[in-house]
Amino acid sequence: MKAYFKSISSRLFDALNENETLSLSFSGESSQFIRLNQAKIRQTGLVDDMDLGLKMIHNGRTVSGGITLSGQKETDQNQALMALASLRAEIIQVPEDPYIVMPKGVPSSEEIQTANGLPFDHAIDALVPAMGDADLVGIWASGKIYRGNANSLGQFHWFETDSFSLDYSLVSSNHQMVKGTFSGRDWYQADYEKNIADSLHKLKLMEQKAVKVKPGDYRTWFEPAAVSDLLGMFSWNGISEGAIQRGSSSFGKMRHEGVVLSPQFSVSEDFNTGLVPKFNSIGEVANPKLNLIEDGKLRQTLVSSRTASEFNLESNFADSGEYLRAPKMASGNINASSVVETIGDGLFLSNIHYLNWSDNAGGRVTGLTRYACFKVKNGELVAPIETMRFDDTFYRYFGTELEAVGDQTKIIPEIGTYGGRDLGGTVCPGILVKAFSLTL
């Protein structure tokens, strides 16, 4: 796919008029998808897909467009030239952009990751037996994912990786659920079977009658999947420098009032995980690691070149939305395998969902407990809890009330497949919080 992208890029760049600048982005995949229901194969197939994005800059103006590629060279080149002509006609009608970011010509980069994954032909035999007769519904996605970026000034970036994920839910006889994900690059059958076995053990606990817990503060353990969702809120009016400058960020208290989080809490943008490319959508290459929150203190925010231009700052080459692309939370020292005993009396939350800001400026998040959330008594899981709404601020659960951080991190992958397989994921441990507020 790299050679194909280069070929179309070259043809488009040759067609440019004087003083026109063109930036191109490429996304593609060669994937296997398997859909399961009641632990049986309901649909399987292979997908090869390619999309090309175009961004033209001319006379202080910018316009964008995109096409889907067929793999037929002449057809795709003609379609791309038509898209270029459409942008040329459109760009004279838009106003000048006062904060336009011009692409650069150098340097270029290439990152190709290989893996010892699960061969397409062996996937069904490897996946299904461990599920037994459980009521499991899920989707398996595996194979190569490609990203590229090029511009008419000579810059060319390429990234490709090979990965897999099984996103699944187990359903109990009383219609309770356990949510699970197994993902990675290299395939280890024993690790997969242990993952399914752990979920089946939780499912047995879900057979018990769910108990209603009263609103109030609870000592709570959050599994890594739940922590990942909480960290995800930082990408929405959070760690963005533009949001802080405009007064719409939940980090305003840390920037302007000197408020800090727990010294046990550190988060970085870490591209060394290899989950996503270092280059952004306009071809800028970020540093391999950017410390955002270090020992509870806000060290840096995500600054795009557009925000840097608007507010006279220095860019760290965040993408235009200034969201987390490669978040990694540092581990701690609490033994995650024996954390139930450490909780004593409280809650064990495997998953949370429907998160939203209830007070953006105050860092307050609301959402619901979901899938395999348990009441803990005397150091044991005693029963699942009924779904509860929570409303609490990360200045508490990542700050004043953070008691301990798990000693093991887990990759929580992006599993979206709506317009193609999503790249990336969050690397994080679980956390133990002294008090977490359930409200309804």
Structural domains present in the chain: 2-206 (3.30.2290.10), 216-438 (no CATH)
pLDDT at 419 over 90: no
pLDDT at 106 over 80: no
pLDDT at 104 over 90: no
Q: What pLDDT was estimated at residue 147? A: 98
The three-state secondary structure class of 142 is: strand
Mean pLDDT of 180-208: 95
Mean pLDDT of 33-38: 97
**Considering the chain, what is the average pLDDT of its residues?**
96
For a pLDDT cut of 90, what percent of the chain falls above it? 96
Q: What pLDDT was estimated at residue 118? A: 96
pLDDT at 105 over 90: no
Cα(409)–Cα(228) distance, integer angstroms = 11
Q: What pLDDT was estimated at residue 173? A: 87
pLDDT, one tens digit per residue, over 247-301 is: 999 999 999 999 999 999 999 999 998 999 999 999 999 999 999 999 999 999 9
Q: What pLDDT was estimated at residue 175? A: 87
pLDDT, one tens digit per residue, over 78-90 is: 999 999 999 999 9
Rg (CA), the chain: 24
DSSP character string of 244-261: HHTT--TTHHHHHS----
In order of 295, 338, 357, 398, 437, the CA distances from 344 in angstroms are 27, 11, 30, 20, 17
pLDDT at 164 over 90: yes
Mean pLDDT of 389-404: 98
Which amino acid is present at 51? D
